[in-house]
Structure 1
Amino acid sequence: MKNSHILSDVLAKHRFLNNPHDQSFLKRLQQHESTINGLYVQLYGDTYAALFLDQLYRLLINTHVERAPHFKQRDAQKAGEQKWFLSNDIVGMSLYVDRFAGSINAMNQKLPYLQQLGVNFLHLMPLMESPADASDGGYAVSNFRKVDERFGNITDLKNLQQNMQQKGMYLMLDIVLNHASNQHEWAIKAKQGDKKYQDFFYMYDDRVVPDQFESTMPEVFPESSPGNFTYVPELNKWVMTVFHHYQWDLNFTNPAVLIAMLENIFFYANIGVDVLRIDAPAFIWKQLGTTCQNLPLAHTILQLIKQCVNVATPGMALLGEAIVAPKDIMKYFGEGAFYANECDVAYNATQMALQWDAIATGDTTIMLAAQQEILKKPYGTTWINYTRCHDDIGLGYEDEMIAQAGYNPYEHRKFLMNYFSGNHAYSSASGALFSVNPKTNDARISGTLASLCGLENAINNNDAALIETAIKRIIVMQACAIFYGGLPMLYYGDEVGYTNDYSYLNDAAKSYDNRWMHRPIIDWQKNDLIQTKGSIEQRIFEATQQLITIRKQLPAISDLKNIHWLPPHNIHVAGYVRHTADQHIYCLFNFSNEVAFLTWYAFKSFSKNLTTVTDLVTNKTYNIGPDAAYLILEPYQYLILTTA
């Protein structure tokens, strides 16, 4: 490559100390130089290489120089471990700081509560400045480097990170690469006529090109934000706005945008972020004649970012928030020469949705059919496994999986939408449909874990039996996710059974988005009920706490690509085996409201000489019976059975 001299020219202008951290950095830099150059040219060609590659390498060097010594030491420690984020010892929680604790400073006082539960990894939902009346829950960022005053300031965040690190806890924050708020400095300058910053976005003088894009681009929010372009009167131009009209899509075909966003990525790295969650990476590259989603050059950008992070801040892992079909999400872990070297972590959205499918139908057949694709995840990468999050529940798994289970895909999804929105005779769920597409009748689902499992309905009707059933549903869902492997991520409030919060309807900035019903404001008097024996809160908290404790005692639950699913001996029971050389752990979950019978033969294909198994939940030991005999699982019962 004709630009191979660029790094040597940049290095000639810097003096490095002869210490281990500097030498390790230089070694990484030289090892990755050829790959970085190649990816950059693949994106932009040689035309921009001399100018922007020089900036990129100077950025990597400055990031290393500015990185605090204790973060460099932590990088070295993580490098000596077997992919630290694969460990069975890590359990996370995702939360909104203001709605959970009030402020970043107040989060420090809540860490003991989280430690009591067993949580040692926190995903703090978007903290950076965003307009109060047009924030998209914090994903419309107006300043990538300023904490929103509603939460505190950057010093507060750094102090919290240090406190968490001292307690052995990990931190995950979000960065939005696809777009910025229309009140970001770049957008403001663009509206003032600054051509440099107009080129940071997709802007057009008329509808000719936008209409060409629209002919192949789907709509993300057809109800609240139809179309993919917004007319901006100050500019007399059309701006690409794939999500909401106040979120302007960044133009990564401009290398200046890539450099600017890399600067923001390293800002997060150097405040001590352990995992950086890249929001909506599927959208970051646009091309006429395509859906503008999951394009090959979007992966090239992520691969380049990963190479740069490996050089300058190697202790920080990357999570790609791509909520797509299983065969597509695998690409975000990397393919070909970048196999397992693109994103380290991804959301197991398919497994999450299939758990909801199973809880509605009592049938795990579709879940089992999906595992062939899900298990293709590369060794050394991991999943976020979860039952709920801040977002809606999509039903995006493929029609073939539904048909393979004997259902009509259209009618099956219609049933699920009716079931979870409470519009089915046999449903006790209290949810709502989100982003209904009138053209296709597709929709997604909003609601808390507890409400979708029937707890809200049961409490409103003072139905003790239904409360009992709802609690069992909640815990079997959590158990399945916690033992699946990867990094289990609880969603705040679920650990004590929060039901839907309808106060969002009284807030004009939120009332159009029913996802706010499952983003509760924590009432700490309610959470204090975990101390009251027999309360709903205590029962759910204690059961969740027990699951976490058991998980941390079992190295086999580490994500070592060591999961095997049991054949479908009973359609109501989801079962998988996690194993090491000397131990097999059978994880069984009855998703039905009826007693399920599982033949002992199901165990013997994995452990030929098996005679007994012990349930770590109840400490009950079972003698393995003959092939024609059965293990009995009560409705919504789960068993974590160990062979040693």
Structure 2
Amino acid sequence: MAPSDPFRLLAPESLRRAFDDDRDAETFLLRLERYGPELIESLAAVYGDQTAALLPELLEVLLHAFHTRPADLKRLDEARLLRPDWLQQPGMIGYVAYADRFAGTLRGVQARVPYLEELGVTYLHLMPLLRPRPGENDGGYAVADYRAVRGDLGSMDDLSALAADLRGRGISLVLDLVLNHVAQEHEWAVKARAGDPAYRDYFHLFPDRAGPDAYERTLPEIFPDFAPGNFTWNEDAQGWVWTTFNTYQWDLNWANPAVLREFVDIILHLANRGVEVFRLDAIAFLWKRPGTDCQNQPEVHHLTRALRACARIAAPAVAFKAEAIVAPGQLIHYLGTGGHHGRVSDMAYHNSLMVQLWSSLASRDVRLFEEALRAFAPKPLSTTWGMYVRCHDDIGWAISDDDAARVGLSGPAHRHFLSDFYSGEYPGSFARGLVFQHNPQTGDRRISGSAASLAGLEAALAAGDPRQVDLAVRRLLLLHAVILGFGGVPLLYMGDELALLNDHTFADTPEHAPDNRWVHRPPMDWARVQAVAADPGTPEGRVNAGLRRLIAARQGLAHLHASVESRPVGSPDPCVLLLRRDHPLGVMLGVYNFSEHTVQFPAWALREHLGEHALDHVAGSAFTFGHAPVVLDPYRALWLTQAP
């Protein structure tokens, strides 16, 4: 099938008869002409001869979604096609929250939308809210029904109403789409256990241990503490089922084209409910290949490109964000390289940036940070990074041994140091975190903890030490200054704007007790929201006010358009990170002191990038770089641009 002739099995004239309106027909056919070749090329690369049978089924799904798409969303489609860089604008500010922990229900979230609007949020990611299995459900990532909302949160109509309200205020709704697996209670798994051969082929089922044992030789364990191994025997199915994450999460068989068709339908159904961005959960794990770790396989990128092409045809306002927590050399493929350049996901998490923030904070040394950023290949200009200080997950110390070696460090030793430091075991540590999933075989110890507790505020308040409280506040604002000044979509985790501490009562909830990541998922403290407004001098008030100043500065700074990359440049002081952005309006230089010391920074190191005069957009002050050094207070951040 020639990629230049999309859907040749159905002639354009027969397609026109599927439309009552000539304008709709032209719109659909133009998109089909534009994205059809990409779709067919990727499908053929994955499914080969099965593509011809799959195409008419996909076309039926696309036509139904297009016809049933609400008028206001069709208008949004056209607006986004005219502004394809909408996710790259400096005004994009993300906020990540659990709906129940933020405001109880979806209607409760809708009532709190003015708070988000006033904070400057334009992108709201509500953590898993589609109906999960009852009881333990991996924080909602064990989905039992993609077309229903958790009963305690409300209904799909409530979700649509929330999305419409957000859209009217310029806020995009973001939801998780779990692609790798479903809950064992999902209809597909129920039918598979009942013996339906069509649905058994939706999963990886083995009659004996021969297949699983062969795969296990090269597979890592994701949750060695409470989900060892990657396969689970199921008596009803009379087989070993692939369960990468938990025994109750069944991995899907994406080699079956019916699985792709199902997810195209799911994506477009949710898009027509008002979801604008899909976080593609566990995307790296989709394709299984013997003799590998079954992550980052080439088929994953073809599958994502095919899903994106379908969305572009029926609902082009939709964007994809890859949840690929992988090495930098692998991560760039999720944004697209070679023939996939800029055609896979629109956005990806910059996990390395987050890891290096905490690494530099502990070591007071940015040289590894610089080296790690240099290892990144340039991303496609049309894509963007999602940057974050903290998220709902644990922190895994993704420090490359090669990067570490280039700055004279041992990768394993540095990772060990970071685990000790952020669990509070290292002498002099300011952090209060918890070890998550210690793997004695590899020495891997990930860390749970809220941003404020990891940055030292919990320990400082417990000690009643005003200086340490001040330093903790400064650390939190420094971390957020980096993600807000990096270029991309900064993602603020719920409660970080209020410096919420660890929630040590998480274990009181039985389904949360085995998973200490709930320590950094505290409920939203609305009383504190009122308190910081009344008394901005408290630690949480200072964090809140400082963060709002940073957001306001970012929103007015064109240099932060995400098409421009931040790149590290040499710094004469190992405590100070310099990130340069070469924008058509001129150079922007981010200057970040990662130590509790006052640094006398040589003026020449700034003058060579900016000339003699510069403006700092964080504090609103002007600089003239002469012979005197620039004084950088502890944890100070500067966003410098060339003065007119």
TM-score, with length taken from structure 2: 0.96
**Quick check: 1:499–1:518 contact (8 Å CA) kept in 2?**
yes
3-state secondary structure, aligned to 1:502:
coil
The answer as to whether partners of 2:94 and 2:123 remain within 8 angstroms in 1 is yes
Alpha-carbon distance, 1:643 to partner: 2.2
SS in 1 for 2:620: coil
2:11 is the alignment partner of 1:8: yes
**Residues 573-617 of structure 1: CA distance to partner in whole angstroms, max 9, x if unpaired?**
11223343333332211111111232222223333xx22223233
Q: Which residue type is aligned with residue 394 of structure 1?
A: G
C-alpha deviation, 1:546, in angstroms: 0.4
Aligned: 1:604 with 2:603: no
> Is the Cα contact below 8 Å between 1:556 and 1:578 reproduced in 2?
yes
How big is the shift at 1:375? 5.3
| Partner SS, residue 491 of structure 2 | strand
CA contact (8 A) 2:564 2:582 kept: no
State the distance in 1 between where 2:313 and 2:137 align: 33
Name the count of aligned residue pairs. 639
Q: 2:273 & 2:233 partners in 1: Cα distance?
A: 37
Q: Note the 1:422-501 alignment, pairs <5 A.
A: 422-501=424-503
AA aligned to 1:334 is G
Q: What's the secondary structure of 1:261's corresponding residue?
A: helix
Secondary structure at 2:227 match in 1: coil
TM-fit CA distance, 1:283: 0.4
Return closer, same or farther for 1:569/1:380 CA change in 2, 3 Å cut-off. Answer: same
Partner of 2:265: 263
Specify the SS of the correspondent of 1:490: strand
Q: Verify: 1:539 aligned to 2:538, yes or no.
A: no
Find the counterpart in structure 2 of residue 162 from structure 1: 164
Distance in 1 separating the partners of 2:216 and 2:56: 36
- What is the identity, as a one-letter code, of the residue corresponding to 2:108? A
Residues 1:43 and 2:46 aligned together: yes
Note if contact 1:326-1:397 (Cα within 8 Å) is conserved in structure 2. no
| Residue equivalent to 1:551 | 554
- Indicate the residue corresponding to 2:575 in structure 1: 572
Give 1:615's aligned residue. 616
The counterpart of 2:592, out of the listed 564, 574, 589, is 589
Mapping for residues 354-433 of structure 1, pairs under 5 Å: 354-374=356-376, 376-433=378-435
Structure 1 residues 575 and 375 mapped into 2: Cα distance closer, same or farther (>3 Å)?
A: farther
Residues 1:638 and 2:641 are matched in the alignment: no
Percent of paired sites with the same residue: 36
Which of residues 303, 306, 313 in structure 1 aligns to 2:305? Answer: 303
CA contact (8 A) 2:332 2:377 kept: no
Distance 2:615 2:298 in 1: 48
Structure 2 match to 1:32: 35
Over the aligned positions, Cα root-mean-square deviation in angstroms equals: 1.6
Distance 1:15 1:239 in 2: 42
Q: Deviations over 1:1-25 (max 9, x none)?
A: 2896323289448432444443122
Equivalent in the alignment of 1:150: 152
Q: Secondary structure at the match of 2:175?
A: strand
Does the 8 Å contact 2:616/2:641 carry over to 1? Answer: yes
1:21–1:72: 8 Å Cα contact kept in structure 2? Answer: no
Alignment check: 8 A CA contact 1:10 1:57 kept:
no
Distance, in Å, in 1 between the alignment partners of 2:48 and 2:354 is 40
- Deviations along 1:227-260, one digit per CA (max 9) or x if unpaired, are 0001112222110000011100000111111111
User: Equivalents in 2 of 1:33, 1:363: separation in Å?
Assistant: 49
Q: 1:332 aligns with which of 334, 338, 343?
A: 334
CA 108–12 in structure 1, closer or farther in 2 if over 3 Å, else same? closer
Cα displacement (A) at 1:623: 1.6
Change (3 A) 1:13 1:586: closer
Find the partner of 2:205 among 203, 206, 216. Answer: 203
8 Å contact kept, 2:615–2:642? yes
Q: Match of 2:344?
A: 342
Whole-Å separation in 2 of the counterparts to 1:489 and 1:422: 26
**Range 371-380 or range 358-367, more displaced:** 371-380
Q: 2-side partners of 1:540 and 1:586: how far apart?
A: 23
- Tell me the residue number matched to 2:64: 62
Offset of residue 82 of structure 1: 4.5
Partner Cα separation in structure 1 for residue 589 and residue 35 of structure 2: 42
Contact 1:570/1:597 (<8 A) preserved: no
Deviations 1:471-516 (A, max 9, x none): 1111100101111000000000100101111222122211111111
Contact kept, 8 Å, 1:527 with 1:537, in 2: the verdict is no
- Decide whether aligned partners of structure 1 residues 11 and 85 sit closer, same or farther in structure 2, where only a CA change above 3 A counts: farther
Mapped to 2, the partners of 1:367 and 1:248 lie a distance apart of 37
Unaligned runs of 5+ residues in structure 1 are none
Of 97-106 and 588-597, deviating more is 588-597
Alpha-carbon separation, structure 2, partners of 1:9 and 1:554: 46
Whether the 8 Å contact between 2:38 and 2:305 is mirrored in structure 1 is no
The verdict on how the C-alpha distance between 1:620 and 1:135 changes in structure 2, with shifts beyond 3 A counting, is: same
Equivalent in 239, 251, 254 of residue 252 of structure 1: 254
Residue type of the partner of 2:271?
A: A
Unaligned segments of structure 2, at least 5 residues: none
1:282 corresponding residue in structure 2: 284
The separation in 2 between residues aligned to 1:418 and 1:564, in whole angstroms, is 30
Match of 2:519 among 517, 520, 523: 517
CA–CA distance in 1 between the matches of 2:495 and 2:616?
28
Contact 1:191 1:234 in 2 (8 A): yes
Secondary structure at the residue paired with 2:505?
Answer: helix
SS at match of 1:606: helix
Which TM-score applies when normalising by structure 1? 0.96
CA-CA distance at 1:436 after TM superposition: 1.2
Structure 1 residues 618 and 335: alpha-carbon distance in aligned structure 2, compared to 1, 3 A threshold: closer
String of CA shifts for 1:181-204, please: whole Å, max 9, x gaps: 001111111112222111111011
| Structure 2 letter corresponding to 1:413 | R
Q: How far apart in 2 are the matches of 1:32 and 1:559?
A: 24
For residues 11 and 140 of structure 1, do their structure 2 counterparts lie closer, same or farther at Cα, with a shift above 3 Å needed? farther
2:642 maps to a residue whose letter is T
What's the offset of the Cα at 1:306? 1.4
Aligned CA distance change for structure 1 residues 13 and 632 (closer, same or farther; 3 Å): closer
Q: In structure 2, the residue corresponding to 1:537 is in which secondary structure?
A: helix
CA distance in 1, matches of 2:9, 2:115: 51
Letter in 1 for 2:27: S
2:622 partner letter: T
Give the 3-state SS of the residue equivalent to 1:301 in structure 2. helix
Per the TM alignment, residue 365 of structure 1 is displaced from its structure 2 partner at its CA by 0.4
SS at match of 2:614: strand
> What secondary structure does 1:605 align onto?
helix
Which stretch of structure 1 is more off in the superposition, 633-642 or 338-347? Answer: 633-642
User: 1:566·1:602 contact (CA, 8 Å) conserved in 2?
Assistant: no
Question: Taking structure 1 as reference, are residues 375 and 115 closer, same or farther at Cα in structure 2, changes over 3 Å only?
Answer: farther
